[in-house]
Structure 1
Amino acid sequence: MRFKTLILVIGFFCFCVRLNAMQLEFLPQSRFFPLTFADPREIRMALLFDQQNRVNAYVGNYFSLISGTGAEEDSLAWVFGLEGAGYFAMRQSGATFPLEHTDGLIGVYAEVTQGPWRGQLRFTHVSAHLSDGISGTTPITYSREFLVGRLGFAPDKL
C-alpha cells in the first residue's frame, strides 16, 4: 500500500511539473480532431424531412473546457471537454408534430497532439426512448456507454 501511495505521489508531482511548463487556456475555441463524417456517433446538426411526413432533428455540439500547450514548436498539446447531442423524431399530424422518440447522449472527450500525430479518447453515455410520444404503446428505453479511441496522422506538408 505504501508503494502504491508513493508511486501516486511521484506521478502527481511529475504531472504538476509538466502542467506548470504548459500554457493553460480555459474555454478554448478549437479542437485538434476534425469532424469525421463517416462515424455515425459523430455529433452533428441537421433537420431532415422524409416522404412519410416525418421530421428528424439532430442537435448537438462539442464544448471544450480547458487546453494546455507547451512553449516549444511541436510540443505536446491537449484539450478536454464535454459533448452532448439530442436526436428527435416527430411525425406530422395535421398542424402539429408529436414526438415519436428521442435519443440523447452526453460525454467527455480528451484530445492530444504532438507534431503530426493526433489522438482522441471519448467516453459517451447514450440513452434512447423509443415510442415515448405514441399513445397505447409501451415505451422502450435503451441506455449504453461506450469508449472510443482514435489515432490520426496529419502531416502539414505532403
Structure 2
Amino acid sequence: MNQRIATSNSVTALAAGPAPALRFSVPLSATRRGARLARLLATEQLRSWELPFDPSLLLVAELAVNALLHGRVPGRSFRLTLAVVPPATLRIEVTDTRGDRLPARLPGDGGSLAESGRGLLLVAELADRWGVEEGPVPCKTVWAELDLGPAAEG
C-alpha cells in the first residue's frame, strides 16, 4: 500500500515505509522545454547522489514526455520527483493533472499498453517495477523504480 505525502503545491506518492534517504522534487512547465529540463535536472541530481545515469535518465525522459503528450492541461505544470528509498531503490515519479487519462491495457496483449507510442513499453522493459497511481483529483502519478543494489546503500 502506498501513502500520499502532501506538499505545498502538489501531492507526491512515495512507497510506504521509511522516509526516503534522498529526495528531489520540482514542478516543471508542461512544455518541450519542461520535459528537457526534467532530464537535465535529473542528470545533475543523479550526479550529486553518485548514482548511475542509465537507465534512469531514459525513464525520466520518457515519463516527462508522456506527461507533456498525454497529461498536459494548459497552464498547469507536471512534477518530477526522484527519491532513493530503502533498502536501495531509485523511485522516479512524474505527476500530471490529467488523472482522467490513464493508460489502458490491451486485452490479450500480455498487459502491454494502448498508447500512441511505445514509451510505456520502454518503461516496462527498463524499470524493475512501474505503475500508475490515481489522485488526488485531478492528478495521476506515473512511477518507475530501479533497484540500485548494495552499492547504493550507505
> What range describes the TM-score normalised by the shorter chain of this pair?
under 0.3
Bigger relative contact order, structure 1 or 2, given CA contacts below 8 A and separation 6+?
2
Higher-strand-fraction structure: 1
Please, what TM-score do these two structures have when normalized by structure 1? 0.25
Larger radius of gyration: 1
